[in-house]
Amino acid sequence: MTAPSSTALIVVDVQNDFCEGGSLAVAGGAQVAADVAELVASGRYGTVVATRDHHIDPGSHFSDEPDFVDSWPPHCVVGTPGELLHAPLTEDLFAETFFKGEYEAAYSGFEGKSADGSTLAGWLREHGISEVDVCGIATDYCVRATALDAAREGFGVRVLDGLTAAVSADNLTQVRQDFADAGVTLSTSP
Ligand SMILES: [Zn+2]
């Protein structure tokens, strides 16, 4: 099955620091990387883009005593291996990558910009996209924020639940409620 050409896959923050062995590891992150790579390779989506946390000096987003709600151990610092996509994902799999969070926290991919300065919403519209499927890390932070912003921007949004990993399972009841309230649907398979 191929997705309609008006549907894009958004792969959120599947980076080394958010996977096992990284500075802010989310359990199941490496499995998400493997499963997303398989989905991309299947050719199901004509348009696939990535977002990346891309920190230079994000202020209070980083802390030596993080609360894991608003402050976090340093992660995804530009120029470090932790900021790179987790294998087997590679940059060339994506039509475009949107970088966010240089100087402040940025959970949503819609806060990011591509290397040539395009916003995610603008880029998707230019490419005739009206529906997005969202997957990646972490379900309760950057996937949530990206999916809710996509809905706010007027896109039809599905979150691919089996292709995400959460910081805390305790957050998921609220996250599912937030998705339902915003008209974001959850799907266990692509
Ligand atoms: Zn961050």
User: Which percentage of the chain shows pLDDT scores above 70?
Assistant: 100
Return d(Cα 65, Cα 68) in angstroms, integer.
9
- One digit per residue, the tens of pLDDT, for the chain of length 190 reads 789 999 999 999 999 999 999 999 999 999 999 999 999 999 999 999 999 999 999 999 999 999 999 999 999 999 999 999 999 999 999 999 999 999 999 999 999 999 999 999 999 999 999 999 999 999 999 999 999 999 999 999 999 999 999 999 999 999 999 999 999 999 977 7
- Cα(34) to ligand 1 centroid in Å equals 22
- Cα(145) to ligand 1 centroid in Å equals 12
Give 141's DSSP letter. I
Q: Per-residue pLDDT tens for 113-159?
A: 999 999 999 999 999 999 999 999 999 999 999 999 999 999 999 99
Contacts of 22 (CB under 8 A, 6+ apart): 15, 16, 29, 75, 82
Contacts of 27 (CB under 8 A, 6+ apart): 20, 165
Catalytic residue among 13, 35, 140, 149: 13
Catalytic residue among 19, 76, 135, 142: 142
Catalytic residue among 35, 53, 76, 100: 100
Sheet bearing 47-53, strands edge to edge: 96-100, 47-53, 7-12, 131-137, 156-165, 185-187
pTM of the predicted model, to two decimals? 0.97
- Collapse the DSSP code of 53 into the 3-class scheme (helix H, G, I; strand E, B; otherwise coil) and give the result: strand
Active site residue 19: no
- Cα(2) to ligand 1 centroid in Å equals 33
CA 118-121-127 angle, to 5 degrees, is 80
- Collapse the DSSP code of 99 into the 3-class scheme (helix H, G, I; strand E, B; otherwise coil) and give the result: strand
- Cα(106) to ligand 1 centroid in Å equals 7
Active site residue 13: yes
Return d(Cα 120, Cα 69) in angstroms, integer.
25
- Cα(53) to ligand 1 centroid in Å equals 5
pLDDT given at position 188: 79
Query: Which of 149, 112, 156, 164 shows the shortest CA–CA distance to 133?
Result: 156
Query: Which of 35, 6, 10 shows the shortest CA–CA distance to 95?
Result: 10
Active site residue 142: yes
- Cα(83) to ligand 1 centroid in Å equals 10
Return d(Cα 96, Cα 112) in angstroms, integer.
11
Six-digit token pair at 156? Answer: 């039809």
- Cα(100) to ligand 1 centroid in Å equals 8
